[in-house]
Amino acid sequence: MTPLSSPPPYRFLLLNMLSDSVYHHVCHNLGLRRYSDLVQHLWETATFDLRYGVSTKGNIPVSKLGFEDHTVQVHAEPYSPAPPFCIRNAFRQLKKHLHSFEDVVFVDYGCGRGRVMLLALEAGFRQVVGLDLSLSLLEQCRENLRRYTQHQNDPACFLVLKQNAATYLPPPAASVFFSSIRSVS
């Protein structure tokens, strides 16, 4: 006999009953564990651009990313922004170990429109580097970072480079790295 307070066999039981794929995405891909986390995730995703006066949302197919090199386009993936709630949670966990991000350089491989870079600046990193090969995404990233930093009092520094992640040599102070790039099989 199980106690009345024991959790159901599945977290997000209602989601699991509605759709297995949604349940799998929420629990396994996003790492959300409670309905309140799901609501917070949806709210932050919906309001992120509006709150910061930037443009990072929306998916963009590879054909619209404007790669100069055909080889890059063959191996590229569509642009899809990272979920703010999950990235903020990752930074909170990381801060428990580093205590401060002020002297740490953050590097974002495949920075896209810069959402993760913005979240890194918000978390307290003073130096943020972003790499991407899409000129159109890099222009949007620079504009988003410019808009964000013009309203901040903190002297944060960002650098956005058109460079292949495989050939980039990070600065010595870089010790936190983010990549939305999936491995090529």
Q: Report residue 152's pLDDT band, with 50, 70 and 90 as the boundaries.
A: confident
Answer yes or no: are the C-beta atoms of 120 and 106 closer than 8 Å. Answer: yes
What is the reported pLDDT for 71? 81
Asked if residue 133 belongs to a domain, the reply is yes
Residues 82 and 138 in one domain: yes
Residues 119 and 78 in one domain: yes
* Containing structural domain, residue 26: 7-35
Residues 21 and 57 in one domain: no
Answer yes or no: are the C-beta atoms of 114 and 156 closer than 8 Å. Answer: no
Residues 95 and 24 in one domain: no
Q: What percent of the chain has pLDDT over 70?
A: 76
Answer yes or no: are the C-beta atoms of 33 and 27 closer than 8 Å. Answer: yes
Asked if residue 42 belongs to a domain, the reply is no
- pLDDT tens digits for range 2-30: 444 444 445 545 445 455 555 555 565 56
Residues 55 and 28 in one domain: no
Asked if residue 185 belongs to a domain, the reply is no
Residues 12 and 77 in one domain: no
Residues 54 and 128 in one domain: yes
Residues 83 and 12 in one domain: no
Residues 137 and 84 in one domain: yes
CA distance 67 to 104: 31
Asked if residue 66 belongs to a domain, the reply is yes
The 10 Å Cβ neighbour count of residue 105 is: 21
Asked if residue 44 belongs to a domain, the reply is no
Residue 173: C-alpha distances to residues 79, 121, 128, 170 (Å): 28, 16, 11, 8
Q: Report residue 105's pLDDT band, with 50, 70 and 90 as the boundaries.
A: very high
Indicate the number of domains in the chain.
2
Residues 63 and 120 in one domain: yes
Asked if residue 149 belongs to a domain, the reply is yes
Residue 49: C-alpha distances to residues 59, 114, 144 (Å): 14, 11, 9
Beta bridge partners of 161: 131
Residues 20 and 102 in one domain: no
∠ Cα 65 67 70 (to 5°): 130
Query: Which alpha helices (H) appear in the chain, and where do they start and end?
Result: 13-18, 20-24, 35-52, 70-75, 84-98, 115-123, 135-150
Overall size of the chain counted in residues:
185
Lowest pLDDT segment from 19-28, 65-74, 126-135: 19-28
Domain harbouring 86, CATH code: 3.40.50
Taking only Cα atoms into account, the Rg of the chain, rounded to an integer number of angstroms, comes to 18
Rounded to the nearest 10°, the torsion over CA 22, 28, 31, 32 is: 30
